[in-house]
Structure 1
Amino acid sequence: MTPEEFRRYGKQVIDWIADYQEKVEAYPVLSQARPGDVLAGLPEHPPERGEGFEDLLADLDRVIMPGVTHWQHPSFFAYFPSNATGPAILGDLLSAGLGVQGMLWATSPACTELENRVVDWMAELLGLPARFRMAGPGGGVIQDSASSACLVAILAALHRAGGGTAAREGLSAQEGLSAREGLTRRPKLYVSSQTHSSLEKAARITGIGAENVRVVDVDPATMAMDPAHLDALLAEDAAAGATPVMVCSTVGTTSTSAVDPVAAIGEVCARHGVWLHVDGAYAGVAAVCPELRWINDGFEEHVDSYATNPHKWLLTNFDCTVMWVGDREPLIGALSILPEYLRNAATASGEVVDYRDWQIPLGRRFRALKLWSVIRWYGAEGLREHVRTGVRLAAELAGWISADPAFELFEQPRFGLVCFRPRWEGLPDEEADAATLALMERLNASGDLYLTHTRIHGRVLLRLAIGGPATTDAHVQAAWRRIGEETRAGAAGR
């Protein structure tokens, strides 16, 4: 493709995206495709000769679009938002156009140094401790997802628990524990029942194993981790000869957006010498608003690593997770490997950051460009306005639910997620749960909105997550009206 062809087709693609953003509300939110529909519209074999880009755009409309669930639809309430905005899309386009591979500072100094600056901007916007800044002992890095951030945090925690033996002697992190202690000690990871499933997956990947993941009790009212039970488990495991390695607390759980008491959990971790990672994937960005910075309680004193996703609620398209550590040495010690072909003068000088040592893969995209674009376009004021709009709309919806005797609100929302259920008077719990799930399926099949569900104390709750950049009061009002109509129709049909 020549530069002139790229210019011509590139304009068509930009126009296509702009048209899509304008008309996204006209699509059914949830794709109506059945399994195999998209495959049936695609040739079984690749073309022998190259085809015109017009043909690809035509097939995009004909084959691909019917199989798309529209995450940017203003009535997409199913999962936490996955914002895609103009500035972020253009920043991603610039990244793709430059084609930078930013594994080392030397392979593109701008890729590294812009990221250095942007993660510090984010730390300032969220009010994070100074030790998380690049000038301090720690620093930040853009990962692809919070799942990767959790995995990296576990590796750093294992390395620290092993006294750094693994990196110095070429041992695995778990072998490092054995070498330091003179015996095999089982590493343990601590989560709650509300912690994201990526932690169990990370335990499997790192060799800790799912059987060594300890589940801490939660407060039955708030679903937040119980520090007293955590304390008891840590003491019990240490006495039994195991090695407590890492605790993961959450700010805004996936199920109900519960917030663990990080300060109290941090005090427990400090007494036992255990790494504390905080997963703020969804709600962490809410700290752009000063009135929501209470979610950072305990960060200054106790948190070893922290991650949040601008690609959820902060107007930046996937993938973009910012992770910070209070001390970068265990992270780099766990992940740094320097073969001869990567050696260079800048790395040897010790004056630069090589982000290959802060992540699992060697290669990395220029993700900082899109976050830079978003922050510069919206400014702190615009970011705060977006978060506050989601919080306000969720609070209004919660008020309507509380005022309707046909529904039950789980808990007053603090962010943009509202959890609730119909009361289904007269039905046993099991039948009521089945009726709630059936209601959700009918609503989603209508194409008017998209919800998901969770289970708390064995009972089904509907989840309605607000935070899309195009979602307005009218969309939330329409969703609530549709839910009420469908609920009443379902009750009348029993």
Structure 2
Amino acid sequence: MRWSDFPKWGKWVSDWAAGYHATLRDRPVRAQTKPGEVLNALPLAPPETAQPMEEILKDFEDIVVPGITHWQHPRFFAYFPSNASPAAVLADNLITTMAPQCMLWQTSPAATEMETRMMDWLRQSLGLPEAFAGVIQDSASSATLAAVLTMRERALGWDGNENGLSGQKALRIYCSEEVHTSVDRAIWVAGIGQANLIRIPTQGPTRAMDPAALKAAIEADLAAGHLPAGVVACTGGTGTGGCDDIAATIAVAKAHDLYVHVDAAWAGAAMICPEYRVLWEGVDGADSVVFNPHKWLGTQFDLSAHFIRSPEDLTRTLAIQPEYLKTHGADGIINYSEWSVPLGRRFRALKLWFLIRAYGLEGLRSMIRNHVNWSVALCEKLRDTPEFEIVTEPVLSLFTFVWRPEGQDSEEATLALINRINDEGKIYLTQTRTKGKLVIRFQAGQWDCTEEDIEMAYQTIVETAAAVKEAL
């Protein structure tokens, strides 16, 4: 295939994309293939000669599409959304066509300077103070790793990169039981070790880290000769939407001069709506904050927004400047590769530019408010339905529930219900555990989701429960 052929096949792909989204409700949400089915449909050896695009695209439709779980399906209520708005998809097509490597200002000035402006647009949208600067990371996991590495270096007087951790006091990082496992992985990669990630008990309906317990843990570690380095707080935890009391957590941390990172990977998108900011009240005092526009906001994966109070601390931790990466004769430039672990960088800011201009902040706010309101309404309908119990109350558009049919073990029944729902494919849900109890998670957040899709979710849950009950 040559560039002269591109218009023909580009139109095919564009038409296919429009048709795909128009017919998603006719497809099962979760892939219906069995393990190994796609693998076995692919030849064992690569072709020696070029194959026609007609054949490649037919195989794409016949082999790939049936093996895809449709994250853009309006009835995808599992995990968190991974949205792809049409405007951002167009931007990604342009990015892919130009294929720039944007590691330095000089390797693509437009990418660097647009990233600076787009991150400030997001900062303003969230109501964060001007003291925060932003950088686009690939995922919240990378932002959390960068934060943990900065905690480590700051606590060690910027000596860890140079001399390692051998012979140092044990570094201690604190978080609740509600944080994402990316925090655990960051602890591993940073060389701090799982044993030094201290889980603080949670309290109250928001499942917030107990500030008194955090204070006691820090003081006990100091007395034991350990070196407290930082706290990872969360707003909208993955399992049940747990939210720490950010202001109280920061007050305890700052009394001991600890770095605070706030993980709002999913819930942060909702903070463009002022009425939801109560969930992270006090965030102004954090050292870094992360949320994923590629979840609820509408820019497809991967695009994570990382805000930092002191970029100097971050670059002191991560920057490395061999001669071939220096830009001579240009003052006041930013090289965002010095703000992240990977050197290579895609032109992700273009997706934000298209998104915000094409829909406006008010359009994005309306989408999020609808999802929250529809999800809360569904929660109330299930609460009023016999044999269903709400376990954790809605946090934005996320809540959890169990099914308790009379005379049956609730955990076995709930597991049978979610498995039957997902196997049938009308909607897609996921499960988690809270306080040791298996529960079903529901969250609304897909770009094209409507109130009718939420109503169908209710009907599917109730009708499937009746069918499972008959079979039990």
Is 2:393 the partner of 1:412? yes
Q: Which structure 2 residues correspond to residues 462-477 of structure 1 after superposition, within 5 A?
A: 462-477=440-455
Tell me how far 1:478 sits from its aligned partner: 1.1
Whole-Å separation in 2 of the counterparts to 1:258 and 1:74: 25
Is 2:425 the partner of 1:441? no
- Check conservation: 1:393, 1:473, Cα contact below 8 A: yes
For residue 215 of structure 1, the aligned residue among 199, 202, 220 is 199
Whole-Å separation in 1 of the counterparts to 2:393 and 2:215: 29
Secondary structure of the equivalent of 1:44? coil
Partner of residue 191, structure 1: 175
Secondary structure of the equivalent of 2:199? strand
Is 2:327 the partner of 1:344? yes
Tell me how far 1:328 sits from its aligned partner: 0.8
- Check conservation: 2:234, 2:244, Cα contact below 8 A: yes
Secondary structure of the equivalent of 1:410? strand
Tell me how far 1:166 sits from its aligned partner: 4.3
Matched AA of 1:219: Q
Is 2:148 the partner of 1:165? no
Whole-Å separation in 1 of the counterparts to 2:321 and 2:414: 55
Whole-Å separation in 2 of the counterparts to 1:438 and 1:414: 25
TM-score (norm 1): 0.93
For residue 319 of structure 1, the aligned residue among 302, 326, 329 is 302
Partner of residue 4, structure 2: 4
Cα offsets for 1:174-222 (capped at 9, x unmatched): 36xxxxxxx6210111111111001111111110011111111011643
Cα offsets for 1:325-366 (capped at 9, x unmatched): 10111100010111111122156x3x0111111111111000
Cα offsets for 1:83-123 (capped at 9, x unmatched): 11111111111111111111111111111000000000000
TM-score (norm 2): 0.97
Q: Which structure 2 residues correspond to residues 381-392 of structure 1 after superposition, within 5 A?
A: 381-392=362-373
- Check conservation: 1:245, 1:275, Cα contact below 8 A: yes
For residue 462 of structure 2, the aligned residue among 484, 488, 492 is 484
Is 2:296 the partner of 1:304? no
Is 2:361 the partner of 1:396? no
- Check conservation: 1:281, 1:308, Cα contact below 8 A: yes
Whole-Å separation in 1 of the counterparts to 2:30 and 2:8: 32
Matched AA of 1:73: H
Partner of residue 334, structure 2: 353
Whole-Å separation in 2 of the counterparts to 1:374 and 1:432: 44
- Check conservation: 1:346, 1:352, Cα contact below 8 A: no
Whole-Å separation in 2 of the counterparts to 1:141 and 1:360: 12
Q: CA RMSD in A?
A: 1.4
Secondary structure of the equivalent of 1:408? strand
Is 2:276 the partner of 1:284? no
| Mean CA deviation greater in 158-167 or 228-237 | 158-167
- Check conservation: 2:75, 2:427, Cα contact below 8 A: yes
For residue 205 of structure 1, the aligned residue among 189, 192, 217 is 189
- Check conservation: 2:288, 2:309, Cα contact below 8 A: yes
Tell me how far 1:17 sits from its aligned partner: 1.0
Whole-Å separation in 2 of the counterparts to 1:5 and 1:88: 24
Is 2:231 the partner of 1:224? no
Secondary structure of the equivalent of 1:130? coil
- Check conservation: 1:106, 1:346, Cα contact below 8 A: no
Matched AA of 2:440: L
Is 2:33 the partner of 1:33? yes
Q: Which structure 2 residues correspond to residues 59-138 of structure 1 after superposition, within 5 A?
A: 59-132=59-132
Matched AA of 1:257: G
Tell me how far 1:296 sits from its aligned partner: 3.5
Tell me how far 1:171 sits from its aligned partner: 3.1
Secondary structure of the equivalent of 1:411? strand
- Check conservation: 1:105, 1:346, Cα contact below 8 A: no
| Mean CA deviation greater in 406-415 or 53-62 | 406-415
Whole-Å separation in 1 of the counterparts to 2:406 and 2:212: 38
Whole-Å separation in 1 of the counterparts to 2:295 and 2:436: 28
Secondary structure of the equivalent of 1:478? helix
Secondary structure of the equivalent of 1:131? coil
Matched AA of 1:202: A
Matched AA of 1:372: W
- Check conservation: 2:245, 2:280, Cα contact below 8 A: no
Matched AA of 1:21: H
Counting aligned pairs with the same residue, the percent is: 42
Partner of residue 225, structure 2: 241
Identify unmatched segments of 5+ residues in structure 1.
133-138, 176-182
Tell me how far 1:401 sits from its aligned partner: 1.4
Is 2:134 the partner of 1:140? yes
Total equivalences in the alignment: 472
Tell me how far 1:55 sits from its aligned partner: 1.4
Tell me how far 1:4 sits from its aligned partner: 1.9
Tell me how far 1:492 sits from its aligned partner: 3.6
Secondary structure of the equivalent of 1:248? strand
- Check conservation: 1:190, 1:248, Cα contact below 8 A: yes
Cα offsets for 1:351-410 (capped at 9, x unmatched): 011111111111100000111111110101111011101101111101101212321112
- Check conservation: 1:284, 1:295, Cα contact below 8 A: no
Whole-Å separation in 1 of the counterparts to 2:98 and 2:329: 22
- Check conservation: 1:126, 1:288, Cα contact below 8 A: yes
- Check conservation: 2:404, 2:413, Cα contact below 8 A: no
Any runs of at least 4 consecutive aligned residues in structure 1 with deviations exceeding 3 A, and if so which?
none
Q: Judging changes above 3 Å, is the alpha-carbon distance between structure 1 residues 209 and 346 closer, same or farther for their aligned structure 2 residues? A: farther
| Mean CA deviation greater in 236-245 or 273-282 | 236-245
Partner of residue 351, structure 2: 370
